[in-house]
Structures are given as structure tokens and as C-alpha cells.
Amino acid sequence: MFQKRFVALLMLLVLALPVLAACGGADATSTPESSNTGATEPTKAAEPTAAPTEAAAAPTEATEPTAEATAEATSEPSTGGNASDLRIGLVTDVGKVTDGTFNQYAYEGLKRAEKELGVKVDFIETVNPADYEKNIDQFASQGYDLVIGVGFLMGDAIKASAAKYPDINFAIVDSTYEETIPNVKGLVFSEDQAAFIVGALAASMSKTGQIGVVGGVEIPPVQKYVMGYEAGAKYVNPDIKVAKVYVPSFTDPAQGAEAAKNQIAEGADVIFGAGGQTGSGGIQSAADEGVYVLGVDQDEYYTTFKGGPAPKLLSSALKRVDNAVFDTIKELVDGKFQGGQYLGTAANGGVDYAPFHDTESEVPADVKAKLDEIKKGLADGTIETGVKLP
């Protein structure tokens, strides 16, 4: 009798094993970051990009001592006292904090703030787009000091919550509002600067004098990527030909692949994918065709190419959402939080380019130096991308 029941329970546990394995897997990727004490490299996806960022952004953040921040916070009554009393809530877009997209970047910024600034952080992973407002409310109703939403699509929900909770601060990644809302900060990025750098890289590596870009839906951030890419390419090689295409979807890898193939057929030998999964599909197929490719938003070495080998991925144009999130939290700690806009640029470490990974040996040293020079130029304003949206 007893044995039978025991066997039944045992079988249940066996049934649950695959599930456990899945959970454990997710866990494994998140555990190292809690034990890792490195300031700028909380997880492996961000690690390789940390080096160039630090070079650019060292004076502005990351190395600033925590004690100072805390002291400032205590002297600033508007934040409600000690930094360790501050509670920050992060609501991801549909996805997970380990999914290699801006969700993960935002989470890394959050964890860095926890470590360096001593704030209390919590997060909710959105499962369903209908849950945005509900998830934000979970934090706001409990009086969190700052609630961060990730993604353009959460724009309405953040706006509504900001009106409902005027005493709580909000931030939203990738979106901003025409009229400044006093308790909301929109975190947006100079996509054109990130694209300018990889555009210069593409033009330097091209042998045919033709390069291509596969864009997603023709909305401002994508346009800025595409135009910045062209500007960067022309900066190093005024005669370069840039094939541009906008695919009206962010989730159509097949169409992205088709577009990339067409560009290669016309002679392009470096392809930049700037349109979510559509762009990723484009660079994946282009890499299979044997031409160099460039990723976007995150270091696609870890996402699209699953950590390598990626012998054709030169680099990626990065939006450092983690730095933006960290800086926003730091402003709150310092009592300087204001509604409005944070613009991530090369100067403040908000945009960057990813390491070369498997193509490290193929990119000549003078090209590397040139890229560094361009990044510095963008940062100090001596180089302008010249991208202006119509």
C-alpha cells in the first residue's frame, strides 16, 4: 500500500524532471552574476562589451565610489533618506531577464545598482502584453521609489501609471513622451552613433565597395540605425555604395534572409541587420553565404549566434540599456531624478559597439584604431553623424 503510493509520488517527480531541468538551466545563467563582484560585467553576455565601455565611460560612472553616492543620498531629503531604503522595481517586456535582449540588459543595470548603490531591487517578467499595467501596479501600489518599464510598447501603461501614482518615479526604456511628465524619464539612445561606428567598420572591411543593411519596420530608431550606418560608411569611404532595405516587420527572419541574399547578389559583402528578428534572420543567412555581418541592439554573438562560433560576425551596434538603467537609478540615489529624457550616446556610454569575438584576428589593427578614434570623436563631439530624421 504505502509502497504503491510512494512509487506514484516518485513518478510525479520524474514527470517534473524536465521542468526542473529547464528551471535549473535558467538558473545557471543567472547565478554567476550574483557571485560575480565585477562592477560592469554582471553576466557573460555583457562581459565582453564591458571593456570598451569602461574605456569610454570610466570618468562618468561605474567607478564612482558607492560611499559617495550614499552620502549624497542621505544629504538629499527628496529621495527619502538612505539609499538602502530605496526600492526599485523592473518590469520587463515579454521575455525573461536572461533572454539576451534589452530585458537582460535592463536587469544587469538593475543588479549593478543593487551592488554598487545598495538599493533594493526586484523584478517581474511580463508573460503577456496585457499584463504591463498590472505588473507596474504591483510595484507602484507598494510604494516602490522607482519603477522601470522596458520597451516602447509599455509607453501607454507607464504613462497611465505615472498619472495614477504621481509620487512615484518611473522610467521607460526605448520610449519618450512629447510632453515631459514630471515623474517619468524616457531612456532613449542615439542609434545613429552606434550604427555610425559599425558602418565605418563595414566600409573598412568591404572589398567590393558595396555594403548592405536590412532594416525592420521604418520607425525612427530603425531609420536612425540605417542612416547612421550609411553615414559611418561614407565617413571612411566616400565612394561606398550602401544598399538599404526596410522590411515591414520585426519578426520575419525569412524575409530578412531574402533581403540579405538580394543585397549579396548585387555585390554587398558586409550586411548589417537592424530590425529585431528580421535583421537577425538577414545576418544569419548572410553569414551562411560567407559575407561579414553586423548585429544590432545587443551583442548578437550571444543571442543570434548562441555564443559562437561566429566566424563572420564582425561586431554589433549596441544600445547599453544597462548603463541607462544604472544611471537613472544613480540619479534617484543622488536625489537628482527628473522627468524628461535620458539620451544614451557614445559620450555617456549609452551606445557602443561589441567586441569582434571570432573575427578578432581578421580585423586589421589600423581599422581597430580607427574605430576607437571614431568613438572618441563621437563622444567629444568632433565627429557628428549628421543624421537628421525628416
Residues that bind another protein (CB under 8 A): 4-5, 8-9, 12-13, 16, 19-20, 23-24, 26-27, 30-31, 34, 89, 96, 122-125, 127-131, 134-135, 137-139, 141-142, 152-153, 155-156, 159-160, 163-165, 175, 248
Q: Can you name the residues that pair with 358 across neighbouring β-strands?
A: none
For residue 278, the minimal CB distance to another protein (Å) is 14
Nearer to another protein, 16 or 55 (CB): 16
Nearer to another protein, 30 or 341 (CB): 30
Cβ–Cβ contacts within 10 Å for residue 299, how many? Answer: 27
| Cell (9 digits) for 99 | 533572454
Closest to 115 in 3D by CA, of 330, 336, 348, 350: 330
108 neighbors 323 (Cβ within 8 angstroms):
no
Nearer to another protein, 8 or 67 (CB): 8
Q: What residue type is assigned to position 370 of the chain?
A: K
For residue 178, the minimal CB distance to another protein (Å) is 10
CA 156 to chain CA mean position, Å: 21
Nearer to another protein, 16 or 51 (CB): 16
Q: Can you name the residues that pair with 292 across neighbouring β-strands?
A: 270
Nearer to another protein, 57 or 136 (CB): 136
For residue 169, the minimal CB distance to another protein (Å) is 16
Q: Can you name the residues that pair with 188 across neighbouring β-strands?
A: 343
For residue 45, the minimal CB distance to another protein (Å) is 18
For residue 102, the minimal CB distance to another protein (Å) is 16
For residue 3, the minimal CB distance to another protein (Å) is 13
What does the alpha-carbon distance between residue 93 and residue 9 come to, in Å, rounded to a whole number?
A: 37
Nearer to another protein, 217 or 363 (CB): 217
For residue 177, the minimal CB distance to another protein (Å) is 8
Nearer to another protein, 19 or 265 (CB): 19
For residue 157, the minimal CB distance to another protein (Å) is 9
Strands (E), the chain: 87-91, 120-124, 146-150, 169-173, 184-189, 210-215, 241-246, 270-274, 292-297, 313-319, 340-344, 351-353
355, with CB counted inside 10 A (0-12, 13-18, 19+), is: middle
Q: First and final CA of the chain: distance in angstroms?
A: 78
Sheet containing 270-274: which strands, arranged edge to edge?
241-246, 210-215, 270-274, 292-297, 313-319, 351-353
